[in-house]
Amino acid sequence: MTRLSLSRRLFVSAAPALAVAGSVSASRAADAVDPRLSPRIIGNPNAKVLVQEWFSLTCTHCAHFATEEFPKIKEQLIDTGKIRYQFHDFCGDRVGLTAAMVARSLPQDRYVPFLEALFSSQMQWAFAAGGDPMQRLQQMSALAGVSATQFQSISQDNVFAEALFDQVKKDSDTYNIQGTPYFRFNNTHYDQDPETYEKFADLVAKAS
């Protein structure tokens, strides 16, 4: 499990041109609900078990789960209608926050494929020696159809960043989340990578 320290400074620092971003974002109604913050859920809406995952796109443990375990979970449990699966952001750094903002700005049918692409190449764009990880994230975003101008607009949207921070902080306080990945199987929590599909399936069975 990757332990995270939540700081509003971390989130605000993700928007370097706050004056510009603020003037653009201020035109939104203060009480409007940003559709980019809407729930990201896949699977059978009538499934008895709702699995929720809190993750950071720069968490290596989350990447292990996403690349090694999630594909089989999707094939065996989600696509077969046995569970619903909800994705929650729990960003731990500026790059991870920006990645989450870009992912949530995509059409919903491209959300999960973008997460999969980022997790499968995490070491290359987030942690490679030399260069700027934000620049590499922009390149990854371009492959998902996000132009350089769109990327800049998203990354500098301080209102969006603040709203995402508020949701992360609310979830942290509600569930006492100390790090990622963190799971809830209906009302039962599991605060680490299950490490195997079999363990994950057992947790699903116990929540049924």
Q: Please say whether the beta carbons of 92 and 58 come within 8 A.
A: yes
pLDDT for residue 21: 38
3-state secondary structure of 177: coil
Contacts 24+ apart (CB under 8 A), 115-122: 115/57, 115/66, 115/87, 116/66, 117/143, 117/144, 118/57, 119/57, 119/62, 119/63, 119/66, 119/67, 120/63, 120/66, 120/67, 122/57, 122/58, 122/60, 122/63
pLDDT for residue 32: 62
Give the count of domains, the chain: 1
- Domain membership of residue 12 (yes or no) is no
pLDDT for residue 89: 97
Q: Bridge-partner residues for 51, per DSSP?
A: 85, 185
pLDDT along the chain (208 residues), means of 10: 53 41 41 85 97 97 97 98 98 93 96 97 94 95 96 96 93 94 96 96 96
Q: CATH number of the domain that 126 lies in?
A: 3.40.30.10
d(CA 55, CA 74): 17
- Domain membership of residue 23 (yes or no) is no
pLDDT for residue 1: 61
Residue 200 belongs to domain spanning: 49-207
User: What would the pLDDT profile of 66-94 be if each residue is shown by its tens digit?
Assistant: 999 999 999 999 999 999 999 999 998 99
Give the helix/strand (H/E) hosting 41: strand 40-43
- Domain membership of residue 155 (yes or no) is yes
